[in-house]
């Protein structure tokens, strides 16, 4: 029940952020808004100080502002990480901000990207929080769909949880 409540709160927060669209301009070769709402779904393995490892899942919502067609800022990204073995028992909440860089269009609407995010993470089981960061790279297949790899880590004093894996992103 806690997970459903958390997901509902994240969806409502993302909807409010998305309602703040700015005026249109030419970005990424076509007329579109400079402010985007996106959903990131990540899957991979746990590393770090977590006993037994296991499969990790992430659901993230972000608000991104395009500076130009090669650079954007992730104003706010809110995400929840959980393991599949004890879904919801291991819950890691994060709030980050970051930057994204893009190559020129390679073919069709595809271009490569790289991102870095910094922020705060809270591990619900241990009731501890600390510094969280992620780094990723991938390919925007279209303006609305991206695939890539991500490394995400949280440092809670002497405890470190990291995930590494794939990511699928949907931009609206």
Give per-residue pLDDT as tens, 71-98.
Answer: 999 999 999 988 877 655 678 899 999 9
C-alpha–C-alpha distance, residues 166 and 137, integer Å: 10
Band of pLDDT at residue 155, cut at 50, 70 and 90: confident
CATH topology of domain 2-171: Porin (2.40.160)
Q: What is the pTM of this model?
A: 0.77
Check pLDDT > 50 for residue 57: yes
C-alpha–C-alpha distance, residues 77 and 72, integer Å: 13
Of 54, 60, 56, residue with least CA distance to 41: 60
Could you report the per-residue pLDDT of 10-25, keeping only the tens digit for each?
555 554 444 444 444 4
């Amino acid at each position: 029940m806690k997970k459903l409540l958390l997901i509902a709160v994240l969806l409502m927060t993302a909807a409010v952020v998305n309602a703040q669209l700015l005026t249109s301009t030419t970005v990424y070769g076509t007329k579109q808004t400079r402010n985007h709402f996106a959903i990131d779904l990540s899957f991979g393995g746990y590393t770090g100080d977590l006993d037994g490892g296991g499969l990790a899942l992430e659901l993230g919502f972000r608000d991104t502002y395009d500076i130009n067609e090669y650079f954007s800022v992730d104003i706010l990204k809110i995400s929840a990480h959980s393991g599949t073995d004890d879904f919801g028992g291991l819950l890691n909440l994060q709030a980050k901000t970051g930057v994204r860089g893009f190559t020129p269009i390679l073919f069709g609407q595809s271009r490569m990207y790289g991102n870095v995010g910094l922020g705060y993470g809270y591990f619900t089981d241990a009731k501890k929080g600390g510094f969280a960061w992620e780094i990723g790279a991938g390919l925007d297949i279209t303006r609305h769909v991206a695939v890539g790899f991500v490394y995400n880590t949280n440092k809670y004093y002497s405890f470190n949880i990291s995930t590494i894996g794939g990511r699928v992103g949907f931009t609206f």
